[in-house]
Structure 1
Amino acid sequence: MSNVATIPHSAVGEWKQPSKGVVGMACLIIAEASIFIIFIVAYLYYAGKSLSGPTPHEVLELPIFTSICLISSSITVHFAGSALHHGKRNATSLWLALTVLLGGIFLVGTGQEWYQLIYHDGLTISTNLFGTTFYSLVGLHASHVIVGLIMLSLSLIFSLTGQMTSAHSEKLEVLSLYWHFVDAVWIVVFLVVYVFCR
C-alpha cells in the first residue's frame, strides 16, 4: 500500500495564462521606449553644439500647464478603467471625455509652442542642431499623443453609444497602459529638454 499522499486537484494552483493584450502592449512599450532612448541620447549628445542660434535658453519656456494636464490624464484614464470594470457606463464616458480633453489641451499647447518657435523665433528643424533634435524628440512624443487620443476618442464614442461594457474593461486597461507610457515619457522629455539642457 502506497504511503504517498494524493493532493486534490483543486488544491494545486492552476497556471493562468497572462493577458495577450497586456503582453502585447508591454512588448510594444519596450520597443517604443528603445526608440525614445535613442532620440533622447541624440538630444543630449548634440546639446550645446549648435553653431548658430537660437539656443534653448533663448526660446524655450516651461510648458508647465500643459504638462500638468497631460500627467493628470493618467489619473482620469485610470478612473475610466475602474468605472468600466464596475459597469458604470456614464462615469466611464465622463472620465474618458476628461482624458481626451486633457490630452487635447496638451496637444494644442504643443502646436502653439511650435508656431511661436517657427514663425516668431525662427527655429525650424533645419535651423541648427538644436532645432533638428528638438522637433525630432518632441515631435515623436506628440505623434504618440495623437495616436493615443485617437484610440481614446474611439473608446469614448463606444462608451457613449453603449457598445463598451464591463466585458471590455481589459481592453481599456491595455489602452491605459499605452497612455501611462506616453505620460511617463513626457516627464523624461520635459526634464531633458526644458530643465536640464535649457
Structure 2
Amino acid sequence: MATETEDAHDEGHHLPAVEDWPRGFGEASWWPFVTALGAAGIYVGAALFLMGTSGIVPTLAGPVIFVGSIGVFLVGLYGWLYHAFVTHFWERGADEHSASKLRWGMIAFLISEVATFSAGFTYFIFIRANAWPPEGAELPPLLGSLVIINTALLLASSVTLHFAHEAIREDKRGRFLGLLGATLLLGIVFIGGQVYEYYEFIAHEEFTLTSGVFGSAFYGLTGLHGLHVSMGAVLLGIVFARALMGQYSAERHVSVTTASMYWHFVDAVWIILVAVLYVGAELNAGI
C-alpha cells in the first residue's frame, strides 16, 4: 500500500487523493465538494436574509453568509478547473475525442441552465399577466442609461471574445491575449455596474428583494444572471492566466471554446432579461 501511495505522488497527483478513481480516469478531489458547499450556502444566505427581515434571525446573518458563500463557490470553481485542466496541460495529448466530450459537456450544462432561467422567466410572466403594477408596489424607473451602458458592455465583450477565439485558432497569440484581456475587463465592469444599480435601487429608491412579487422576480433573475456572469469571469480569468502561461495554440484551445460558449450564453440571457424584465415591467398594459 505504501508503494502505491508513493507511486501516486510520483505521478504528480494532488491531495487529498493519492489514487486514481475510478479505474485510473481522473483524480478524486475536494474541489467539487467545496463548490457545491458554496452553491448551497448562497441559497441558505438568501433564506436567512428573508428570515432576518421578519426578526427571526439577526439581520446581518443572511448577507454575510450569502457573500461568504459566493466567495467559497468561486474559489471552489477556480480550484476545480485549475487542477482539472491546468496543472498537466502539456503532458496530455491533443485528443479530439476528449475535446469533443468537453464541448458536449458544456452544451449539456447550458441546456440545464436554459431550464433554470426559464423557471425564473415563467414566474415573472405569471405575475406580469395579472394587474400591473402589482397592488401596493411602487416600481422604480428601470430603464435608464446604466442599463443601456451595461448592455453595451456585455455585447462588446461577446464581440471581443469571438475575435479572441478566432485569433488563437489562427495562432495569433498577441491579438488573442489582448482581446481576451479586454473581454475579461468588460465583464468585470459589467458586474460592477450591476452592483451599482443594486445600490441605487436599494439606497435611493427603497426597492429591495422584499418589495413584493416584482422585487423577488427582479432580484432573483438579475442576481442569478449576475452570479453566472461572475462564474464566467472566473472561467475567463483562468483562461487568461493559462494564456499568459502559453498554454494555448491553434491545435489546443478547447477550453477557450467552452468558455466562449458559456460567455455567449450569459450574454444572450441578458438580452432576453432586458427585453422581458426591464422593458416588460415598464409597459403599462398586462400581457
Q: Into which bin does the TM-score normalised by the smaller protein fall? A: 0.7 to 0.9
Count how many residue pairs are aligned between Structure 1 and Structure 2. 181
Output one character per residue of 1:83-118: Cα deviation in whole Å (capped at 9) or x when no partner.
111222221110111111111121111111100001
Matches within 5 A, 1:1-198: 19-47=100-128, 48=132, 50-55=134-139, 58-62=140-144, 63-198=147-282
Which secondary structure does the structure 2 equivalent of 1:163 belong to? coil
Q: TM-score, normalised by structure 1?
A: 0.85
Measure, in 1, the Cα distance between the counterparts of 2:102 and 2:133: 43
Identity %: 33
Relative to structure 1, the CA distance from residue 161 to residue 131 in structure 2 (aligned partners, 3 Å threshold; closer, same or farther) is same
Measure, in 1, the Cα distance between the counterparts of 2:238 and 2:255: 12
Measure, in 2, the Cα distance between the counterparts of 1:168 and 1:50: 53
Output one character per residue of 1:3-31: Cα deviation in whole Å (capped at 9) or x when no partner.
xxxxxxxxxxxxx9681112111111111
Residues 239 and 255 of structure 2 are in contact (CA less than 8 Å); yes or no, is this contact kept in structure 1? no
Measure, in 1, the Cα distance between the counterparts of 2:220 and 2:280: 18
Output one character per residue of 1:49-90: Cα deviation in whole Å (capped at 9) or x when no partner.
6332321xx331331111011012111111111111122222
Residues 79 and 95 of structure 1 are in contact (CA less than 8 Å); yes or no, is this contact kept in structure 2? yes
The root-mean-square deviation of aligned C-alpha atoms, in Å, is 1.7
Of the two structures, which has the highest relative contact order with CA contacts closer than 8 Å and spacing of 6 or more? 1
Measure, in 1, the Cα distance between the counterparts of 2:272 and 2:199: 23
Structure 1: 4+ residue segments shifted above 6 A:
none
The answer for unaligned runs of 5 or more in structure 1 is 1-15
The equivalent residue for 2:61 is: none
Which letter does structure 2 place at the counterpart of 1:161?
A: M
Q: TM-score, normalised by structure 2?
A: 0.60
